[in-house]
A = this chain, B = another copy of it.
Amino acid sequence: MAENQMKGEQSIEFREAPYILSGASVVGPKEGEGPLGEQFDLVTPDAELGEETWEEAESTLQKEALQTAIGKAQLTNAQIRYLFGGDLLAQLIATSFGNGEANIPLFGLYGACSTCGESLTLASMAIAGGYADYAATVTSSHFGSAEKEFRFPLGYGNQRPLSATWTVTGSGAFVLSTEKSHVRVSGATPGRIVDMGVKDNMNMGACMAPAACDTIAQNLMDFGRQPSDYDKIITGDLGSVGQRILIDLLDKQGFDISQQHMDCGIEIYDAEKQDTHAGGSGCGCSAVVLAAMILPKLQQGIWKRVLFAPTGALLSKVSFNEGQTIPGITHAVVLEHC
């Protein structure tokens, strides 16, 4: 039998592998103009990427990100045993049409904007379980395809409340392996669905904060850690509204994360100058910030241990129009410098 890798009630402790060999980020022009602009691997000159539809443009983002990550790891596609990928679109069409040519066995995943965390967890399980020498992940979102999927036609020019977030046009990809590097995934806390009854699709931060609280608190309990045991506790796309809720909710559970908390959605844009309101969102958001900013800091040892916790809001336009709530889910991984 395989060695027990369970930790606490809900978490996994990876005792040796997996290591992150490489990460890659490809973003659109708006993200390129933001505070992290120079750190992305590729900023495309426009959001269409030469394609005829937003969905094909998003597929192209995934293709570019995956090939860049595989190239950085000095591998070929044939060496990647499994790919774990997902996006926000119905039936994951950005992923299906972006990765056919890659010719790598694919596990399609949907965890809304938490999918980057879900994909890293499953790829880590594949590596540490002895199922693959190399595995890759890819996730994406696109402002144009997401607005079409979830909200209003772009030409309609609707007003956005200040609690709304701006879907990131971008894709992040990672290669994981048993081969050593300077960053390893040392643990994971897969999340539960948490539904506090919030129904406002223009305030996703409020929808997702309770799920972020649940997973982060569980991670701290399962590993017997305090927030200060992490250099950073990083959520995916709570934005400025969700951040305040998360810090308050965790405080009530006895965990003060105000010193450690960072949110990829807040980092990626200059909200005031770029008119992005509460921050960035989408499952490309946490993925590109991980590749461009978090991973390099871990590689260099500036941060020693980070809890990376992408947050997802589980809704569709059908569930929203049928009056359903918007439950949240958060999948967290522990990343360590080594």
Q: Are B122 and A193 in contact, with the CB atoms below 8 A?
A: no
Chain B CB within 8 A of A30 CB:
no
Contact with B along A1-34 (1 / 0, CB 8 A): 1111110001010001100000000000000000
Nearest B-chain residue to A192, judged by Cβ: B105
Q: Are A317 and B6 in contact, with the CB atoms below 8 A?
A: no
Question: Contacts A109-B108, A110-B86, A110-B110; is A193 near B314 (CB within 8 Å)?
Answer: no
Scan residues 118-135 of chain A and give those whose CB is less than 8 A from a CB of chain B: 118, 121-122, 125-126, 128-133
Among the interface residues A93, A104, A193, which one has the most CB atoms of the partner chain B within 10 A?
A: A193
B contact residues around A97 at 8 Å (CB)? 319, 324, 327
Closest Cβ of chain B to A48, distance in Å, is: 14
Chain B CB within 8 A of A272 CB:
no
Q: How far is the CA of A130 from the CA of B5 in the complex (A)?
A: 5
Question: Contacts A17-B1, A106-B192, A106-B329; is A125 near B118 (CB within 8 Å)?
Answer: no
B contact residues around A41 at 8 Å (CB)? none
Q: Are A129 and B132 in contact, with the CB atoms below 8 A?
A: no
B contact residues around A319 at 8 Å (CB)? 55, 91, 93, 96-97
Q: How far is the CA of A278 from the CA of B28 in the complex (A)?
A: 44
Chain B CB within 8 A of A300 CB:
no
Among the interface residues A5, A92, A110, which one has the most CB atoms of the partner chain B within 10 A?
A: A110
Q: Are B90 and A190 in contact, with the CB atoms below 8 A?
A: no
Contact of A108 (CB < 8 Å), options: B89, B90, B110: B110
Contact of A96 (CB < 8 Å), options: B4, B148, B193: B193
Chain B CB within 8 A of A280 CB:
no
B contact residues around A133 at 8 Å (CB)? 6
Contact with B along A121-164 (1 / 0, CB 8 A): 11001101111110000000000000011000000000000000
Chain B CB within 8 A of A49 CB:
no
Closest Cβ of chain B to A283, distance in Å, is: 11
Q: Are B91 and A327 in contact, with the CB atoms below 8 A?
A: no
Nearest B-chain residue to A111, judged by Cβ: B108
Q: Are B315 and A91 in contact, with the CB atoms below 8 A?
A: yes
Contact of A100 (CB < 8 Å), options: B103, B125, B195, B317: B195
Q: How far is the CA of A91 from the CA of B12 in the complex (A)?
A: 26
Q: Are B327 and A96 in contact, with the CB atoms below 8 A?
A: yes
Binding site for B on A (CB under 8 A): 1-6, 10, 12, 16-17, 52-53, 55-56, 81-82, 86, 88-93, 96-97, 99-100, 103-112, 118, 121-122, 125-126, 128-133, 148-149, 178, 190-195, 314-319, 322, 324, 327, 329
Besides A107-B118, A109-B110, A125-B129, 14 new A-B residue pairs in contact (Cβ under 8 A), listed by A number: A2-B2, A2-B3, A6-B81, A6-B133, A89-B90, A90-B90, A90-B91, A90-B318, A92-B110, A108-B110, A110-B110, A125-B126, A128-B129, A149-B318
Closest 9 CB pairs of A and B: A129-B129, A90-B90, A2-B130, A91-B316, A96-B314, A105-B190, A100-B193, A108-B110, A90-B316
